[in-house]
A and B are shown apart, each in its own frame.
Chain A
């Protein structure tokens, strides 16, 4: 599909903001464990990396950021190299749009139940019923016709 131009720009902006956040936080995963922020206290998100160059050791960092926006990928991986406290190399790779379900599932914060224990609608104090029993009459008639035909 063709997205309007402003949507593409939004995608780019969203990616950029994830990038900054990821960089400022030092990345969740260090590459091979060889380089990590010296202390978690310094990994605050209130400043850029370069202005707090003393907070991070030089080395390669990688991390993942996810974001939601129409038309964009749902997550990116970020790899960057710090040298002398400055970012010397940076790669942002959008992840595949499919296969993100598990990731989203873990972020879901609501209710979940294996088997819902229903109650009789007659016992409930309700004014309306929302469901599918009242489907299109034409549809129901057609189903009845087909059943009748099958039995004939």
Chain B
């Protein structure tokens, strides 16, 4: 087994393969990540989303935007507007900004209505400058894109771990501990990922900065969510797993289960845990 570790988009990545990746493939992977970051990072002043935030207008977006923003439309509907990519300015004002100031403005911007934009692949029209944030599903989407680079390069068995977003492609199942958000030395269960399955874990209590501030915002209130502290979702793609791991902070599971093919576990503030009947693995009840 070979494990390639690197830093990208501000987080740790690890790609496990049977044999070390050829240098050309590794470069293709990091290039793909950079390409994604150059469009979607709200922390880069030259990114497309930063330019949309500067001047709005009509933009033609690349192939990956179809799955990503179309999922955002569905998640917006499924959560009655709680999950929205239009929280960028508010998150930034709350302190989650390019420099990680982690200091909240006195009057954070309100979250704009969806009507501020029109989206129909490949065209995004911003009727006014608006700061998009694809934090709810972007990393999962990027994991899928990296997987695409690997399989197009002939690497068919691999595990991609982008700190919370996992995609496993191999015959042998992968056992993953579900870290207890209250104690990182302990697990509340184990997920077993089959071939081609993705797992996304999200928690608010560790990436938090004072006064209940964290990175998962309810678009209807502009405030951080406060009932759920951690979610784990297994689905057929990193994109779906990531998006639903965020949505599980904001909507009732049975509604999400009806709309999207996924399995989940989630923990409430008071420590009680819910999980779907067919969650692959075990929750230590």
| Cα distance A135–B207 in the bound complex, in angstroms | 7
Query: How many A-B residue pairs lie within 8 Å, measured between CB atoms?
Result: 187
The 8 closest A-B pairs by CB, nearest first: A131-B179, A1-B114, A142-B100, A132-B203, A130-B201, A70-B77, A104-B252, A118-B186
* 8 interchain pairs, CB-CB under 8 A: A70-B77, A101-B252, A114-B271, A120-B186, A124-B177, A126-B176, A127-B175, A129-B179
Find residues 97-152 in chain A having any chain B CB closer than 8 Å to their own CB: 97-98, 100-101, 104-105, 107-122, 124-139, 141-143, 146
Given A108-B274, A118-B186, A137-B12: A129 in contact with B284 (beta carbons within 8 A): no
| Cα distance A31–B276 in the bound complex, in angstroms | 36
B164 touches A108 (CB 8 A): no
A137 touches B11 (CB 8 A): yes
B274 touches A111 (CB 8 A): yes
Nearest chain B CB to A7's CB is how many angstroms away?
Answer: 8
A130 touches B100 (CB 8 A): no
A130 touches B274 (CB 8 A): no
Give 1 or 0 for each of B194-227: 1 = CB within 8 Å of chain A CB: 0000011111111101000000000000000000
Chain A residues with CB under 8 A of B258: 68
Chain B residues with CB under 8 A of A28: none
A126 touches B190 (CB 8 A): yes
Chain B residues with CB under 8 A of A142: 99-102
A132 touches B202 (CB 8 A): yes
Query: Would you call A74 an interface residue if the criterion is a C-beta within 8 Å of the partner chain's C-beta atoms?
Result: yes
- Residues of A near any B CB (own CB < 8 A): 1-4, 7, 68-71, 74, 97-98, 100-101, 104-105, 107-122, 124-139, 141-143, 146
B277 touches A111 (CB 8 A): yes
| Cα distance A14–B28 in the bound complex, in angstroms | 45
**B contact residues, total (Cβ < 8 Å):** 72
Query: Would you call B56 an interface residue if the criterion is a C-beta within 8 Å of the partner chain's C-beta atoms?
Result: no
Chain A residues with CB under 8 A of B33: none
| Cα distance A135–B165 in the bound complex, in angstroms | 11
- Which residue from A7, A132, A138, A141 sits with its C-beta under 8 Å from B164? A132
Given A125-B175, A131-B164: A1 in contact with B76 (beta carbons within 8 A): yes
B285 touches A111 (CB 8 A): yes
Nearest chain A CB to B81's CB is how many angstroms away?
Answer: 8
Given A118-B180, A118-B187, A124-B187: A1 in contact with B113 (beta carbons within 8 A): yes
B102 touches A143 (CB 8 A): yes
